[in-house]
Amino acid sequence: MALTETAVHDDRGGLGAFSEGLAEAVARAAASVVRVDDGARLTASGTIWSEEGVIVATSHGVERDEELVVVLADGSRHAASLVGRDGDTDIAVLRVDGAAGLPAISRADAASVRVGQVALALGHPGDMGLLATIGIVSSRRDSQTEGHDEYILSTDADLYPGISGGPLVNAEGALLGLLNRMYGRGLGVALGTPLVARVVATLLAHGRIPRGYLGIRTQLVAVPANLKTSLQLAHERGLLVVNVEAESPAEQGGLMLGDTLLSIGGEAVEDVNTLRRHLHAGQTIPVQILRGGTLINVTPTVGSEPA
């Protein structure tokens, strides 16, 4: 079908409106994007989490714990202190000293975040000023941690060096997740807002993430076919204990070097993440193990991970 002059004009108008809408979304979020200077050669991005001066960034982007400076969108420089960091999620929380009324980023409702949505990646790396790239939400991987529904996003928006710690926002400029190139091994990954919120709240309360601790190292192994048959096991895999720390909760609870963990808390152990999900400090958990061709049940009490 041939395009009339009116159709071409309307199409240009639609494209222009879309472009202006994206520019407005970037402008709304831009005030919440900061530069974090820890004195290293490269600076990192950060996102204003609350108007009381709480800044969320990546742990790998904030190498030092002292003499931190946060550069706001207006170019003003402010001393900041490290509240805490979490190595597992690579999140660091800073606080701008004496700040109040900072433009905290708005957050999208988690249920509204869908694959295919337009996604804008924002950062403030080095002296480049605000940096924005565009893509879509390529995937959403949902999980649950200690009763919290969380997600991790992937995006095809380009993540340039120094953009980690900046926000991934939707077409309204609301936060979808915290960008992290390292977490995605160079690919576009954003830790979803609910996950970030949980880690930030815990770091603000405790300065670190208290985790359950048994004191063992394991490796994934296949359950021998002859034992599956003789013991009538449905388990395909288990976790072989390759190290037990002295005087650890695992040792005190009866676990030994060479044991194979088959189930924990009644759930089959398919990988180390299954084990981690059940490690809540202070909780006594039933563990079924395979030891010398015999099924044994032990009940260790989970401790707290040493600082």
pLDDT at 159 over 80: yes
Report the C-alpha gap between 160 and 129 in whole angstroms. Answer: 13
Which of the residues 164, 259, 263, 278 is marked catalytic? 164
With a CB cutoff of 8 Å and minimum separation 6, the contacts of 5 are none
pLDDT at 8: 42
Tell me whether residue 164 is one of the annotated catalytic residues. yes
- In the chain, the percentage of residues whose pLDDT exceeds 70 is 94
Within 10 angstroms of residue 240's Cβ, the number of other Cβ atoms is 17
User: Same fold for the domain at 107-205 and the one at 212-304?
Assistant: no
Tell me whether residue 90 is one of the annotated catalytic residues. yes
pLDDT at 4 over 60: no
Of the CA atoms within 13 Å of residue 24, those in its CB half-sphere come to 8
The residue count for the chain: 307
DSSP letters of 71-90?
E-TTS-EEEEEEEEEETTTT
> What is the average pLDDT value for the chain, to the nearest integer?
89
Report the C-alpha gap between 1 and 170 in whole angstroms. Answer: 34
pLDDT at 147 over 80: no
- In the chain, the percentage of residues whose pLDDT exceeds 90 is 65
**In this predicted model, what pLDDT tens digit does every residue of 232-243 receive, in sequence order?**
888 888 999 999
Indicate the fold that domain 212-304 takes in CATH.
Answer: Pdz3 Domain (2.30.42)
* The CATH number of the domain covering residues in 107-205: 2.40.10.10
| 197 close to 50: Cβ distance less than 8 angstroms | no
**Greatest pairwise CA separation for the chain in angstroms:** 82
Which of the residues 90, 154, 235, 278 is marked catalytic? 90
Which of the residues 50, 60, 78, 81 is marked catalytic? 60
Domain range annotation of the chain: 107-205, 212-304
- Predicted TM-score (pTM) of the model is 0.74
